[in-house]
Structure 1
Amino acid sequence: MITPRYAGCARGRVQRWLPMTERQGSDERSPRPRLETTEVVRSRMSRQRARDTGIEVSVRQELHRMGLRFRIHRRPLQGVRREADLIFTRVKVAVFVDGCFWHGCPDHATWPKNNEQFWRTKIEGNRARDVDTDARLAAAGWLTVRIWEHEKAVDAALRVAATVRDRRGHDRPGLRHGVGGVS
């Protein structure tokens, strides 16, 4: 039996959680398909981190060591439901750390054999959303830096630091030269 839970407010009213088939307006959204998978795969996929991944934390540490300060997990643009992993607000640089599987890395992406159509649609949708995000940010004057999870943290941090320095237009005390290979 499904127990009622509260999912927040919708148009000022608290609504009881219902299965998709019992919701009003269920014609608009169909329920997600039940994927054929094993418990081992389901368990592994549920443990995948969405934030604070190893590469993300390593890049943040390197950037901090270089003297750069930034915000983490923020939306660069109001009204756009896309969250950057790091943002440098003053110079309008947004950094996204993309997973090779989830974003279809050209070097390391693999196409699962099980539920192939679902995953192809999901990954291609992520790629399209990434392109759309880059375009929206560029239109608002932001520069996007994308880091793949397979990149070395030091190399990625150097690329981000160079981008931030270029956007500043001149050297400022906030970026220490000679630290971490930045010159």
Structure 2
Amino acid sequence: MKLYYSPGACSLSPHIVLKESGLAFETIAVPTKTHKLADGTDYDSINPLGYVPYLVLDDGRTLHERPAIVQYIADQAPDKQLAPANGTWERYKLQEWLNTIATELHKGFSPLFTPGMPAEAKDMTKTRLMSRLNWVDGELAGKNYLLEAFTVADAYLFVVAGWSKPVGLDLSGLSNLGAYTT
């Protein structure tokens, strides 16, 4: 199994999950600016979408979306309990969290990393993002994890919440999220 990743990007989430799973895997770094792999290969010829993460199985099958990748990995190592069993209420709650993190948080941070984004647009983005992070903070009250125990959703939230510092988003008032990310 190969995981194509970029340091600091959201591909850290499946990287964490792979480490936690104990499964054998290889990582291949994808420079975000050049898309040229260490061997000179153009990454876009491997993954036409051009982004990470990208998981390539030994039989050649591929996955390119974080929620699908991390659930696939978790299901390959069920003894690690990185995801609740399929068909359970808890699995649907996990999927709810993965989708919330992907659509409301991850994509919420994206404009803040966009070069040339006007300051007014960044301020509006930060305001919206903080409202979502405030909600997450409340959901974490009295809890160590999003669900009963550490799951693939926790790896994803940890990565995305970590982007607050590089984009200048002050999370100091979010005590539950602050404790969660340290």
Q: TM-score, normalised by structure 2?
A: 0.33
Q: Whose helix fraction is larger, Structure 1's or Structure 2's?
A: 2
Q: Which has the larger radius of gyration?
A: 1
